[in-house]
Amino acid sequence: MEDARIRLYLTRPRSLTQILPFLHNLGLEVLDQRPFELRRGGQELFLYDLGVKFPGSVDPEGTSGLLADAFTAAMRGDIESDRIDALVIRERLAWRQAAILRSYAKYLQQLGTTNSYGFIADTLISNVRATRALLALFQAKFDPGLDEPDRGRNTAGAKKELLAAIDDIPVLDADRLLRTFMNLVEATTRTNYFQGKAHLSFKLNPAAIAGAPFPRPKYEIWVYSPRVEGVHLRFGTWRAGVCAGLTEARISGPRSWDWSRHKT
């Protein structure tokens, strides 16, 4: 039995194979669909009327705004929809909060983690107390609206909660992964997250990242968006950039050269 009906009004037609993965990643089960073509003010609209079932304990009415925002962002191409999106309606996270977690997960892959992306997503979803504490730690460190005394208190409180949440996790691999996430947030010195841009960027101190490969640059600028992801390395006065998602990247130091690298 369906929990709700969702009506999508689009300005161009979409196949179900384009629509359903977004809803599936959000944790919804689509039970039936009815497509319609409409005209309003001389403009052709495409209506998709979907009967859906929500995950247990999720209130359809209480999460409708978050669902609409996340789906709209996915259809616009503002987010790279995947399993992490399940946190949006299950834990009432804004889609941009989910993007923080996704960005760090992608950076972990650049570092060469042995954990699959699926395991990373499942760990964040299965250990929501720790996941919320990670986001609280990020917020406390970088929210420009906080004064320094509040920032210090909030950061200490979030870290204490995060460590307590991790200590309660019985799975060793999940424990290690979440400690790695905490390490990455603590090693981050700046971010553009609160500027609301289409891409996320994080300035990190590689010397503070446990397990970061050598040689370690002085700083790394990690840039992530659905269209491109890459890292800008600074070895003192040297600069180096490695991008995925573009057909060309450049490293620059005393000399520079170009090579092709495609996103996998």
* 4 class by beta-carbon count within 10 Å (0-12 exposed, 13-18 middle, 19+ buried): middle
- What are residue 28's phi and psi, to 5 degrees? -95, 145
Supply the CATH number for residue 86's domain: 3.30.70
Residue 46 lies in a domain: yes
Structure tokens given for 245: 């998602």
State the CB neighbour count (10 A cutoff) for residue 39.
8
Residue 6 lies in a domain: yes
Residue 175 lies in a domain: no
Residue 28 lies in a domain: yes
Tell me if the pTM is above 0.75: yes
Residue 74 lies in a domain: yes
Domain interval for residue 17: 1-91
What is the C-alpha separation between 96 and 78, in angstroms, rounded? 9
Residue 217 lies in a domain: no
CA 131 to chain centre: 12
What is the C-alpha separation between 239 and 169, in angstroms, rounded? 40
Residue 17 lies in a domain: yes
- What are residue 146's phi and psi, to 5 degrees? -90, 140
| Tens digit of each residue's pLDDT, the chain (264 residues) | 778 899 988 888 888 888 999 999 999 999 998 988 888 878 888 999 999 999 988 988 899 999 999 999 998 889 999 999 999 999 999 999 999 999 999 999 999 999 999 999 999 999 999 999 999 999 999 999 999 999 999 999 999 999 999 999 999 999 999 999 999 999 999 999 999 998 999 999 999 999 888 888 899 999 999 998 888 887 765 554 545 443 333 333 322 222 222 333
Residue 56 lies in a domain: yes
Contacts 24+ apart (CB under 8 A), 185-191: 185/104, 185/134, 185/137, 185/138, 185/141, 186/137, 188/138, 188/141, 188/142, 189/219, 190/142, 191/138, 191/142
Nearest CA among 51, 50, 79 for reference residue 66: 79
Number of domains in the chain: 1
